[in-house]
Amino acid sequence: MKKSKNEKDAKKRYEEYVSRFTPGSRSVSNGIKAFVVGGALCSAAFVVQNFIQQNFGLESKEAGTIVTVGLIFAAQLLTGLGLYAPLAKFAGAGVIVPITGFANSMVATAMEFKSEGPVLGVGSKLFQLAGPVIVCGISVSVIVGLIYYVMGIFDFKLPWV
Amino acid sequence: MADNKLGRQTVTFKNFPQIYTAFSTAGKKEGRGPLGNWFDSILEDDKIGQKTWEEAETKMLKDTVVGAVRKAGIDKHEIDVIFNGDLINQLMSSSYAVRELGIPFLGLYGACSTMSESLIMAGAFVNAGYSKYAAAAASSHFCTAERQFRMPLAHGNQKPPSAQLTVTGCGCALLRESEGAAGCCEGKPVYVTGGTIGKIVDKGINDTNMMGAAMAPAAVDTIETHFRDTGRDPEFYDMIFTGDLGKIGKNIVKDMLGKKGFDMTKNYEDCGCMIYGEDQDAHSGGSGCGCSGSVLCGYIFQNMKKGIFKNVLIVSTGALLSTISTQQGESIPGIAHAVAISTEKERV
Amino acid sequence: MEWMEILKVFLVGGIICLIGQLLIDYTKLTPARILVIFVTAGAVLTALGLYEPLVTFGKSGATVPLPGFGYNLAKGAMNAVQTDGLMGALTGGIKETAAGITAAIFFGYLIALIFDPKPKS
């Protein structure tokens, strides 16, 4: 239903009224936790990647892939064990924004709908939250590729690249 | 003709249907809360040996109805009708619970307002003489509601302080005509004396983490209407309870009714604020049909039996949203029904 | 590898997560939307040539968070266009991220089949 201007104003007034009764999130401590945990997670990934690179004679890209896969597996295992939700409750974006959050969202939804069977339950719900991420990410990458192709034809380059 | 109504929205039961027995069940977490001692039964674990969460809720609801019947010392076939509901699509838990009980069934969907809705309906049936025994019940389960309405259990996220926690719990009140009802169970008789049927009130909130704020105006509207229709005021009641507004919604009700000249600061509580302790990480409080259901059939009913509360007004509150309406960006329609309960045969 | 390098990784990763936390606390965006925004932003910034310097500076700090997923998708598409022409726009993105996506699907499916969700206590 289209809302009239009056309705919108009334809604806004009520929202302002309600905000007087609503406590804010503890943003400062939340922010610090997200920053520290997120930074630490990335640093750990970096250290492990370097270790693999040096000790197994792999290229940086290969080592990076191994670390990514490792992070995904670890996050999903923690999710299965029921430990990821409490972790995310504490660290917030610190573990939601890294690739681990994406991995968690897949297992969490899939596991929840296990009672609907391995195909229609687990199989489809694996993508309930991750689906939009993959769809948008891949679609944007295709558009980027196309634009890049056209730019190549006209030999156009972004001045700052 | 309509001499059993006051104003437009309030009904009065002149035959005083009696809440013969009531049985309440609570989940593990709720059982550890401040009201833990008042529940008739506390689940040892929230899956109670079932394969799925839905089966668990079904079993909880069924066991609660059976508990109320057993307390009354009657056979379940003596119950003429059961009014009940839950939060799951197409009233799954209610239908499956009743399927095994063989009691004539009228399903109700009032979201979290279901307990007072079913109580008004059962009261009306008994008052009118359509039923000798009528049951009113409502249930909700954290794990079934959460996966239908919110995020999966294992999903890592942070909830804002305004969010509420669906109560795993269930209440069943067994009503019968008060004529010839020998004093069942010790304590005072408890009568449903009337109720006020609420209108949908929607102030445009569409954030599902703001349920209390979405439902509070409906509670205010119903409570105000109840006072105007009956000529009563907050002082008349020993206690007024709303269903599941949580801390934010409770404060809004106090403030809004205060501005309308009704002092709610002395004898008003919200079941959602009572059911969890401060240390239980329930954010704004409990929600769900089972919240007011289990608190009414446990804490409130038992306190009335003991004579501690004489007159109580219970106002279960519901948010009539669906998962589809949320995704389409629609606002949340709120509803609240008030039920007057008394240990005296005093007409509303 | 020296401490300076690790500090850079820590800063970049931490700041990206901090931005996510601010989105969670101050907006009403749902988790799914926040993840989508991050991946899309990473891909767009890469196309504009703005994310590559961040990766050079912050390494894992820029690639482990979700914008890094968008970065890999976009970079894959651009590189593939350079080598394979137009079809590269379709194949590049997934090729570059195939290991991560496949691992997430395979392990995710396996783990979801093995474990059951637990209620909060």
pLDDT digits (tens, 9 = 90+) for B264-302: 999 999 999 999 999 999 999 999 999 999 999 999 999
Distance from CA of A119 to the nearest CA of B (A): 17
- For C119, the closest of B46, B155, B157 (CB atoms) is B46
Cβ-defined contact of C10 to A73 (cutoff 8 Å) = no
The pLDDT assigned to A3 comes to: 67
Chains in contact with B via at least 3 Cβ–Cβ pairs below 8 Å: A, C
Cβ-defined contact of B156 to A87 (cutoff 8 Å) = yes
Q: How far is CA A146 from CA A155, B278, C38, C97, in A?
A: 14, 56, 21, 18
pLDDT digits (tens, 9 = 90+) for A70-83: 999 999 999 999 99
* pTM, to two decimals: 0.93
Beta bridge partners of B105: B82
Cβ-defined contact of C40 to A31 (cutoff 8 Å) = no
Q: Can you identify the CATH homologous superfamily of domain B16-153+161-176?
A: Stage V sporulation protein AD (3.40.47.40)
pLDDT at A25 over 90: no
The residues spanned by each domain of chain A are 33-127, 129-161
The pLDDT assigned to B336 comes to: 98
Contacts of A140 in chain C (CB under 8 A): 39-40, 43-44, 70, 73-74
Residue B252 at interface with chain A, using a CB cutoff of 8 Å: yes
- For B204, the closest of A10, A21, A24 (CB atoms) is A10
Q: Residue B299, by phi and psi: left (phi above 0), alpha (psi -120 to 50) or beta?
A: alpha
Q: What residues of chain C have any CB closer than 8 angstroms to a CB in chain B? A: 24-25, 28, 31, 117-121
Cβ-defined contact of B252 to A18 (cutoff 8 Å) = yes
Q: Is ipTM over 0.85?
A: yes
Cβ-defined contact of C64 to A73 (cutoff 8 Å) = no
- Give CATH 3.40.47.40 domain extents, chain B: 16-153+161-176, 193-342
Distance from CA of C95 to the nearest CA of A (A): 11
Chains in contact with A via at least 3 Cβ–Cβ pairs below 8 Å: B, C
Question: Among candidates B280, B274, B272, which has minimal Cα distance to B32?
Answer: B280
Mutate to test the interface with A, among B92, B157, B280 (most CBs of A within 10 A): B157
Question: Among candidates A140, A149, A155, which has minimal Cα distance to C81?
Answer: A149
pLDDT at B21 over 80: yes
* A122 DSSP assignment: I
The pLDDT assigned to C1 comes to: 59
Q: Is the C-alpha dihedral spanning B301, B307, B308, B309 positive or negative? A: positive
**What is the mean predicted confidence (pLDDT) over B233-239?**
96
Q: How far is CA A97 from CA A133, B124, C34, C64, in A?
A: 12, 54, 8, 9
Count of CB pairs separated by less than 8 Å, B with C: 26
Contacts of A73 in chain C (CB under 8 A): 103, 107
* B302 DSSP assignment: H
Q: List alpha helices for chain B, DSSP H.
A: 28-31, 53-72, 92-99, 114-128, 142-149, 211-230, 246-259, 271-274, 289-295, 301-305, 323-327
CATH 3.30.70.120 fits B193-342, yes or no: no
Angle, in degrees to the nearest 10, between helices A99-112 and A84-91: 140
pLDDT digits (tens, 9 = 90+) for C12-62: 999 999 999 999 998 888 888 999 999 999 999 999 999 999 999 999 999
**What is the mean predicted confidence (pLDDT) over B225-251?**
97
Contacts of A95 in chain B (CB under 8 A): 156
Output the average pLDDT for chain B: 95
The pLDDT assigned to B183 comes to: 57
pLDDT at B1 over 60: no
